[in-house]
Amino acid sequence: MAFKITEECIACGACEPECPNSAIREGDPVYIIDPNKCTECVGFYDEQQCAAVCPVDACIPDPAHRETREALLAKGKK
C-alpha cells in the first residue's frame, strides 16, 4: 500500500529527497505522495524512508492504495 502524508505535515521537506521513486512533491500546504509512484521503499530499503525521517509522523500507510509486495517491486522497476 502506498503511503500518504497527513495534515500534520509541517512542510519541512525532509521526506522529499529520501524517496527513491521521486513520489513526493511539495503541495499546498503539505507535501504529497503520488500513490502511482510510491513503492513503500520495497526493493530499496527495509523501511519507508519518508516515515523514518518525518519529525511529526505525518507519513502513514494509505489504506486506499493496497498492493502486494510483488506489485510494489514491479512498480519500482518501472
pLDDT above 90: residue 77: no
pLDDT for 78 equals 76
Classify domain 3-77 by CATH number. 3.30.70.20
For the chain, the average pLDDT equals 95
- In whole angstroms, what is the distance from residue 78 CA to residue 53 CA? 25
- DSSP letters of 18-34? G-TT--EE--SSS-EE-
- In whole angstroms, what is the distance from residue 46 CA to residue 51 CA? 12
Q: What value does the mean pLDDT take over residues 11-34? A: 97
Q: Is the dihedral of CA 25, 28, 34, 40 positive or negative?
A: positive
Query: Using one digit for the tens of pLDDT, what is the confidence trace for 47-68?
Result: 999 999 999 999 999 999 999 9
